[in-house]
Each structure stands twice: as C-alpha cells, then as structure tokens.
Structure 1
Amino acid sequence: MAIVIINPNSTTSMTEAMVSVAQSAAPDLTFEGWTSEKGSPSIQGPEDGEAAAPHLLDLVDRASAQGAEGIIIGCFDDTALKEASQRVSCPVIGIGQASYHYAAMRGWRFSVVTTLAVSVPVLEANIRNQGLGHAVAKVRASNVPVLELEADPMCSARTIGEEALRAEQDDDISAVILGCAGMVQVVAVVRDALKIETIDPVACAAKCLKWMT
C-alpha cells in the first residue's frame, strides 16, 4: 500500500495539496491522502489538536490495518504523533518533526514562521521535547489564519514572506521552516524572498519517509 498522509482537519483541498507536494518531493513513493471528516476545518492551538486526536488515531489504526508502508501526520503541530507512533508498526512521522530534524542534521539554526500566536507554545514545546531547543532561534506567528492560506494565497504569501524576511534579518539563522501544512501554497513566494533556506515541512516529511521505508 501507499504512504498515507493523514490530515487531522477536515479541509480536503489541503490534503490534496499535501499529496501533490509529497509526490513531487519523493516520486519513487506512492502517496495517498486521508482527511479526517470528523475533524474541525483547521487546527489552531492545543484545544483543536486535542479534539482532533481521537479521530486522527482512528485513521492511523485503519491505515495500519490496510498495510500502509508509512504514515505522515499532516499537521505541523504533529498532532498525536507520539500516540500514533506507539500503536502501529510502520514508520510514523510528523511534518513538524521531520523539518526540525532535517534542519538540525544540516547544522542549520532555524526559526519557524507559523500561522497564529495560539500555536506558538505548542510548537516551542514540540521542539524542546525533541531535544532541539538549541537549534531554534524563534517561533514566529504571521497572524495568517490557516483557512486564509487557501482563501487568499497571494496575500497570505506576502504576509508570511514579510515575517520570514524579519526572521532572516533579526534571528541569526540559516533556515526558515514554514510552520503549517497549508503553507504548501506559499512556499515558492517565500523562498524567492529569502537568501537563506526555506524548508517546506510536507516535502521534508516525504523525503524522510523515503529513507525510512
């Protein structure tokens, strides 16, 4: 079976965008996107993540039962990642997790540009819990809501690009990580605005699973 990308929110277009990016990043693998129909339209902060976790884990169990070669948690918060990894035998990776470790393995000090401020403490805790607190300069909120990334991608790209440029100028870093699965729509614009590396977490997770499967 394919690598299953599980989107813990209910926005199907976001799932489809992630599959397209993953397939381009790792063409030797086959990706399939699953959307949590019982999830909220977006995950912004710990309460949304906690509400999404049970439905996400049901999909993890189903993917494993159907013989998935690997599972990608398609939310930058790495929703229920630890629980998912402990209950199935195939590799499970979060897109946040993949991007942090990729940057660290390259020796890059990084900042994260995410959506809203409510997500910042979640991401900071995830980075610390993975032992990478030394590698991060700052987690920045762009104040662009998740669903706005799809509703107005060009305006969102400009706003996120401006915050990424501030990170490049002020944070003494080598890379910016885009901190939302929905930012697959704005990667090219941000990358063109920066001189340092721009990390797309979905592409990063796909490449990591290529090494693991």
Structure 2
Amino acid sequence: MKIKVINPNTTTSMTDAIEKAAAACAFPGTEIYAATPEWGPASIECFVDDYLAVPGVIQEIYQGEKDGMDAYVIACFGDPGLQAAKECTQKPVLGIAEAAIAAVKMAAPSFSVISVLERSKKITEDLILQYGAERACRSVRATGLSVLEFERDPEKGRRALHRESKCALERDGAESIVLGCAGFVDFAKELEKDLGIPVIDGVVPAVKFAEAFVGMGLNTSKQNSWGYPEKKELRGFELFRKRQGETK
C-alpha cells in the first residue's frame, strides 16, 4: 500500500515531521511518501495562503497518479484543495481536519480545536460547520503564534498549546482536544499525557483512515460532484493541462 502525504506548504522541515508521524503510525508494509509542492506559501494561516497552496496540491495528486499511489492525505488543517483533489483521482483522498473531526466525534462527546493565529480561526470554524461538527465543538482557540514561530521555538509553542488546551477544558467544557495545525504533530502525545484526555493530531487518523479505505477497496465516487474535471482551455497552466492529459 502506497500513501502519499502532501504538505501543502513549502517548508520542508514540516514535511519531514509529518512524514515521521505518518510512518510511525502506519501498518508494516504501508509505504509513506511525503511530498512538498514545488510552489506555494511557506506556511498557511489565512485564506490567501490557503488558496495559493491549492495548485501545488493538485500537481502532487497528478504526480501521484503517475507514481501509482493508492491513497492521498492532505496534511494541513485547512484541508486546502481537498474537494479539487477528490476530483483529480478515484483513489481515496483525506484531509487531516476531515479525519481528525471524524475521529474525535467517536472518541469524546465534545472537543475544542487549538489553532495558530487569531485570524486562522475563521478557516477552522468554517470547516467545523462543513463537516457537521458544530454541536460537538466547544471552542476554537488560538495560540497567538504563527506556524513558523512554532518551527523556530518549539518550547514556546508547547507552552502555548498547553495553556490554551487547559483553558478549553476548564472554561469551555471540552472533553478532548484537536490540534489545528499539521505543525503540531510532535506535541500530541505529550499533551495527551499531561491533560489526561484524547488529543488528536489529524495526520495519524488521516493515515489510518486511508489504510482502511484502501483495505476496503473504497474509492472516491466519480458519479457527479467529484467527477473528473472537464477538459478546457487553461491559460498559463500548461503543466496542469499536460498532467491532466497524462492521468485521465
């Protein structure tokens, strides 16, 4: 089984951490291929970042089809390009927010999401509504630190995550925590031990769901909404047009 885990930003150190977490949780025999797009933002914290990351994600899906991947994981909590990626392949495609929210709803009756900047909360709140989890979500909290600040000072990031997680439990009534950034992947186990409740980083459930989908032979429906994109003129997107032709 070959699973491609796509980090939608261009920070390779984050890709390395994501790959390590994905490989650690995968079954023996599952091959994890972590990818960093050729272009896109260094981190994803707002809607512009989110949208600029999508072409790189789509490129990696098309390349994965050529390389014979069995499933894909989009490893950013905003799930950038997830719907578009599902159109580009019949293979399973999972976003880490999609997977984390599905998993936490089975692990606890309520949860809070801990995100990065205050401005990033809107993206997360929209996803919670999209995935039908608003009744279970007690809050979306921000650490006030950027993704790249977590990279530069992990200890400062750990303290901020612990502070906001404690507030979510004590003030908001959350019974579990979802970490709202793939860059938080290294903090999940320590937080879970400290807090004594489920703490879910989306990379792990996304990989495990991907393995389950492949094992069940469950593919992405191409009937209508996620059907392959229609062929049409794409100005300035010669690479995309070329790879569409190669993979369809």
Q: Say whether the fold is shared (TM-score over 0.5).
A: yes
Alignment-derived partner of residue 182 in structure 1: 183
Deviation at 1:179, TM superposition (A): 0.6
Alignment-derived partner of residue 3 in structure 1: 3
Alignment-derived partner of residue 81 in structure 1: 82
CA distance in 2, matches of 1:24, 1:52: 26
CA distance in 1, matches of 2:154, 2:47: 25
Matches within 5 A, 1:1-213: 2-28=2-28, 29-213=30-214
Counterpart of 2:80 in structure 1: which amino acid?
T
Of 85-94 and 59-68, deviating more is: 59-68
Q: Is the 8 A contact 1:153 1:185 kept in 2?
A: no
CA distance in 2, matches of 1:144, 1:166: 16
CA distance in 2, matches of 1:84, 1:38: 16
| Aligned Cα root-mean-square deviation (Å) | 1.3
CA distance in 2, matches of 1:155, 1:173: 23
Counterpart of 2:19 in structure 1: which amino acid?
V
Deviation at 1:195, TM superposition (A): 2.2
Of 10-19 and 192-201, deviating more is: 192-201
Q: Is the 8 A contact 1:161 1:189 kept in 2?
A: no
TM-score (norm: length of structure 2)? 0.82
Q: Is the 8 A contact 2:22 2:204 kept in 1?
A: yes
Deviation at 1:187, TM superposition (A): 2.1
**Secondary structure class of the residue paired with 2:129:** helix
CA distance in 2, matches of 1:32, 1:108: 34
CA distance in 1, matches of 2:169, 2:197: 7
The count of residues paired between Structure 1 and Structure 2 equals 213
CA distance in 2, matches of 1:144, 1:189: 19
Q: Is the 8 A contact 1:109 1:135 kept in 2?
A: yes
CA distance in 1, matches of 2:103, 2:50: 24
CA distance in 1, matches of 2:201, 2:108: 17
Deviation at 1:60, TM superposition (A): 1.2
**Secondary structure class of the residue paired with 1:32:** strand
Counterpart of 1:88 in structure 2: which amino acid?
T
Deviation at 1:110, TM superposition (A): 0.7
Deviation at 1:132, TM superposition (A): 1.6
Q: Is the 8 A contact 2:108 2:176 kept in 1?
A: no
Deviation at 1:62, TM superposition (A): 1.3
Deviation at 1:98, TM superposition (A): 0.3
Q: Is the 8 A contact 2:10 2:40 kept in 1?
A: yes
Of 150-159 and 92-101, deviating more is: 150-159
Q: Identity of counterpart residues, as a percentage? A: 33
Deviation at 1:107, TM superposition (A): 4.3
Counterpart of 1:153 in structure 2: which amino acid?
P
Deviation at 1:206, TM superposition (A): 1.3
Counterpart of 2:203 in structure 1: which amino acid?
V
CA distance in 1, matches of 2:49, 2:26: 30
Q: Is the 8 A contact 1:149 1:185 kept in 2?
A: no
| Structure 2 residue runs without a partner (length 5+) | 215-248
CA distance in 2, matches of 1:104, 1:47: 29
**Secondary structure class of the residue paired with 2:135:** helix
Deviation at 1:189, TM superposition (A): 3.2
CA distance in 2, matches of 1:195, 1:121: 28
